[in-house]
């Protein structure tokens, strides 16, 4: 089982990321792109990172907007280091 992080640790780590928030035991971010095609391309690209980390986010898409929700199911749907690793990988793609 993955070890969940303390709320204090999560808040400190979120402050180091751009645009991410910590709500309802998860990391959340909304990305906005030029159009639908760019949004879908982003989703496809992050799918490779998610597979590499064996960590699969909740992804919501509406036209040019992609919303991501991250938490670790194996840690009781809490935030772990794996969530931050995937968040950083996604930001490097956007």
Tell me which of 7, 35, 52, 56 is the catalytic residue.
56
What is the four-CA torsion angle of 21, 23, 27, 33, rounded to 10 degrees? -60
Report the C-alpha gap between 69 and 46 in whole angstroms.
Answer: 13
Tell me which of 7, 35, 58, 73 is the catalytic residue.
73
Active site residue 35: no
Report the C-alpha gap between 75 and 79 in whole angstroms.
Answer: 8
Tell me which of 58, 74, 85, 91 is the catalytic residue.
74
Active site residue 73: yes
State which H helix or E strand residue 32 sits in.
strand 26-32
Active site residue 83: yes
Active site residue 55: yes
Tell me which of 7, 51, 52, 58 is the catalytic residue.
51
The set of catalytic residues is: 51, 55-56, 73-74, 83
């Amino acid at each position: 089982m993955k070890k969940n992080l303390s709320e204090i640790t999560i808040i400190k780590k979120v402050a180091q990321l751009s645009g991410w928030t910590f709500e309802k035991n998860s990391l959340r971010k909304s990305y906005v792109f030029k159009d639908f095609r760019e949004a879908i391309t982003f989703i496809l690209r992050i799918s490779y990172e998610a597979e590499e980390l064996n960590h699969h986010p909740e992804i919501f898409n509406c036209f040019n907007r992609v919303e991501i929700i991250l938490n670790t199911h194996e840690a009781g749907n809490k935030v772990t280091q794996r969530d931050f690793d995937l968040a950083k990988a996604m930001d490097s793609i956007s």
